[in-house]
Every structure is written in C-alpha cells, then in structure tokens.
Amino acid sequence: MLKAIPPRFTPDLLWAIAAMGHGDRIAIVDANYPAHALHTRVLPLAGIDTVQAGRMVTALLPIDDFVEPAAFWMSPDGRPDENFEVHALFRDAVQAAEGRAIPFASLERSAFYAEARGAFAVLTTADLRPFSCFLLTKGVVRTTAPPKESP
Amino acid sequence: MLKAIPPRFTPDLLWAIAAMGHGDRIAIVDANYPAHALHTRVLPLAGIDTVQAGRMVTALLPIDDFVEPAAFWMSPDGRPDENFEVHALFRDAVQAAEGRAIPFASLERSAFYAEARGAFAVLTTADLRPFSCFLLTKGVVRTTAPPKESP
C-alpha cells in the first residue's frame, strides 16, 4: 500500500510496467485464458476485470505511437470482425488515458496466442466476458525536463 | 519509464515499497555501507544521494505513526548526539513529504547495523557524506473510500 497508488496495483504489476521498455507488450486477459501455458511471467489481478485493468495500466504506461496498431484484441477464429462490447469499452478506457485515438487491430484467437507469447508479462483478471483479451505495446515518455523526484 | 513516475524509481524500488507492509523498514544508506554483508535485498540507486532517496521514498511510502520513533539515523559509535548536516536535510525531506513532525532516533553505528539487518530492503546510494544512513518504518494509508483506479 502506497500513498499515491491504489492497492490494486500489485508490487509485481508495478515492477513489470516500470521494467518494460519501448516496444515491449503486456497482455491483459480474461479468466479463461491459458496464461501459464503461454507465459512465464503471469501476474494475477484478483477481482479486476479487463477494462479496469486496462485503465490501471494505461494510467501509467504510455501506448506506442511509433508503430501502429499498438493495441490488439482477440476475436473468434474465422470471425475477425465480430463485435464485442468489451472491446469497445476497453478501447474507450485506453483512449481516455492517452487522450487520443488508439487504433486497435483484431487478432483471431490462434493468432492472438502466437503474438501474445512474446509479451513481457500477462495480467490475468476475473473477467468472464468472451474474447476479453488484449495486447498493448509500450511507447515512450517524451520530456526534456530533468527527472522530478516526486511521482 | 512510466507516465507519472520518474525513471529514478527503479522497478525493484517500486516493487519493494509496494510489497512492504505496516512495520516493515527500509534502509537508505551511503556509498560506504556494507549493504551486501547485511542484507539480501540490495536495491541500487545510482547517482542519487540519500536525501533525494528519502524524498523519493516518502513521496509514496507512509511513515509509521503507531510506534515512534519510526525513523533513525546512524551516528558514530560513542557519539550518538553528534550533529551531521545530512541528518537535518534528510529529516526535512521526510517531514515535508509527510506534512508533520517526524521524530528521528539516533543509532550508533553498531546498533544501526543490528537494527538494519531486519529491514525489508536497503537502498544504496552514491552519497559520500559520513553517517548518511537512515532507517524508515512503513506506516499505513487510511481511507474509507474504495480503491481508485488511476494512481
């Protein structure tokens, strides 16, 4: 528990998003995702849904604007254009945090697994909504000011 | 590198101060301190002095107010009341972050080592000022509001 950061930010989550560099990806996935089969760094967010997790992560983690799309959601195999309400809700949360339009690409289930394997970490959630799985690419923080001491 | 947290907050530092609980202690020590001899979790802050490190840590970490003194500095063996400018500077930084008076106790060098051994982690700095070693006890964050998502 820290003064300025809510306790739902676990120590491992803070470590991971701070340790990630430009181009590294983080997966945010639903409760049915085979996280341990695909990833070595599995970070549980108990009681959090994917939209909340996306809002948490993007409050601190910048989204890439060098290479777009920098954000992805999972869609059913063979139906990449199917609409899911959770996809729109997640995108809204990310766009609000970034203050700009963020293009998302759709990855069919098998392709999502293949892309997600390379992610720096996966955040597992309690979300039961189907295809509520996302991949975000970290961007850069641009500043010419010297580092400030207080967060 | 995160949006709201300067890069001098290393991933391991963020992990440690978030993982610490009430009553756990963190040591912030000068460049001559035998950190690896006394601690298993040694977190380097290259290019940071102890006062800067104290300001960083207390921006996020609450200081205990259940058991006081919750803060300590190192003094020479046999001269516990000797004044060091860095002690006053460090205390000023901690008090400014907490917005209240924080009593510090003096621990002679040998006693400091003995107390510090139980610390959750030690932050090593580039500080060359003599007896620029400190120990801070984590307190609690009190709120009745539900956790907020943005930090």
Query: pLDDT tens, B41-82?
Result: 999 999 999 999 999 999 999 999 999 999 999 999 999 999
In a domain, B130, yes or no: yes
Q: Which residues of chain A have pLDDT under 50?
A: none
Residue A142's pLDDT is what? Answer: 87
Strands A121-124 and A42-44: parallel
Cβ-based burial of A66 (10 A; exposed 0-12, middle 13-18, buried ≥19): exposed
In a domain, A113, yes or no: yes
- Smallest CA–CA separation between B99 and chain A, in Å? 13
In a domain, B74, yes or no: yes
Strands B121-124 and B134-137: unpaired
What are the two backbone dihedrals, phi and then psi, of residue B54, each rounded to the nearest 5 degrees?
Answer: -65, -40
Smallest Cβ distance to B147: which of A7, A15, A148?
Answer: A7
| pLDDT above 90 coverage of chain A, percent | 92
Q: Which of B23, B95, B102, B24 is nearest to B66 (CA)?
A: B23
**Which amino acid makes up residue A59?**
A
In a domain, B103, yes or no: yes
CATH number at residue B107: 3.40.1650.10
In a domain, B70, yes or no: yes
Residue B57's pLDDT is what? Answer: 98
The tens-digit pLDDT sequence of chain B (151 residues) is: 899 899 999 999 999 999 999 999 999 999 999 999 999 999 999 999 999 999 999 999 999 999 999 999 999 999 999 999 999 999 999 999 999 999 999 999 999 999 999 999 999 999 999 999 999 999 999 876 665 655 5
Under 8 Å between Cβ of A64 and A137: yes
B148 to A6: CB separation less than 8 angstroms, yes or no: yes
Under 8 Å between Cβ of B70 and B78: no
In a domain, B80, yes or no: yes
Token couple for B106? 């003096």
A59 to B150: CB separation less than 8 angstroms, yes or no: yes
In a domain, A29, yes or no: yes
Structurally, chain A folds into a number of domains equal to 1
Residue B143's pLDDT is what? Answer: 78
A-to-B residue pairs, Cβ atoms closer than 8 angstroms: 103
Helix (H) / strand (E) element for A107: namely strand A104-108
What domain range is B127 assigned to?
Answer: 22-137
- Smallest CA–CA separation between B21 and chain A, in Å? 7
ipTM higher than threshold 0.85: yes
- Smallest CA–CA separation between B61 and chain A, in Å? 5
In a domain, B67, yes or no: yes
Test the A interface: residue of B8, B12, B13, B15 with most A CBs within 10 Å:
B15
The DSSP code for A39 is: -
Smallest Cβ distance to B149: which of A2, A10, A52?
Answer: A52
Token couple for B82? 């000797």
Under 8 Å between Cβ of B63 and B101: no
Residue A144's pLDDT is what? Answer: 63
